[in-house]
């Protein structure tokens, strides 16, 4: 399964993400998901190596992104974005929330 397919299910998830089996990038941010919305065309392009990555689920609440093309900088930006540590303008540029 690709990471974008998992995210598009909008299932609540709370755990950790490790980027690439080869390098094992980790981050200080935990990963929370359950957002109602969708990535914009810009967001899909910007985060493409992450979103198109095949994934493995580990029983300890870890998702491993299996794409050795993911850079630490991109991974860190993605994790900072999901944790809310980016400018609102960047957030709105990458993700369109559905208003309830």
Kindly report, residue by residue over 19-74, the tens digit of the pLDDT: 876 667 777 777 888 767 889 999 999 999 999 999 999 888 889 999 989 998 99
Compute the distance between CA of residue 27 and CA of residue 42 in angstroms, rounded to an integer: 24
Residue 99, pLDDT above cutoff 90: no
| Closest to 23 measured CA to CA, from 51, 62, 74, 65 | 65
Q: Name the token pair of 51.
A: 């979103």
Domain for residue 81, yes or no?
Answer: yes
pLDDT at 13: 87
Count of domains observed in the chain: 1
Res. 9 pLDDT band, cuts 50 70 90: confident
Residue 59, class by beta-carbon neighbours within 10 Å (0-12 exposed, 13-18 middle, 19+ buried)? exposed
Which residue range forms the structural domain that includes residue 58?
3-93
Domain for residue 99, yes or no?
Answer: no
Domain for residue 10, yes or no?
Answer: yes
pLDDT at 98: 77
| Closest to 71 measured CA to CA, from 15, 39, 23, 32 | 23
The mean per-residue pLDDT over the stretch 79-96 comes to 92
Domain for residue 35, yes or no?
Answer: yes
Domain for residue 65, yes or no?
Answer: yes
Domain for residue 79, yes or no?
Answer: yes
Domain for residue 98, yes or no?
Answer: no
Domain for residue 84, yes or no?
Answer: yes
pLDDT at 75: 92
Contact 47, 93 (CB under 8 A): no
């Amino acid at each position: 399964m690709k990471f974008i397919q998992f995210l598009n299910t909008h299932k609540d998830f709370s755990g950790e993400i490790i980027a690439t089996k080869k390098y094992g990038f980790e981050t200080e941010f935990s990963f929370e998901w359950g957002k109602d919305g969708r990535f914009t065309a810009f967001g899909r392009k910007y985060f493409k190596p992450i979103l198109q990555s095949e994934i493995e689920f580990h029983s300890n609440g870890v998702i491993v992104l299996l794409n050795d093309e993911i850079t630490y900088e991109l991974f860190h930006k993605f994790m900072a974005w999901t944790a809310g540590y980016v400018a609102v303008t960047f957030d709105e540029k990458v993700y369109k929330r559905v208003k309830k």
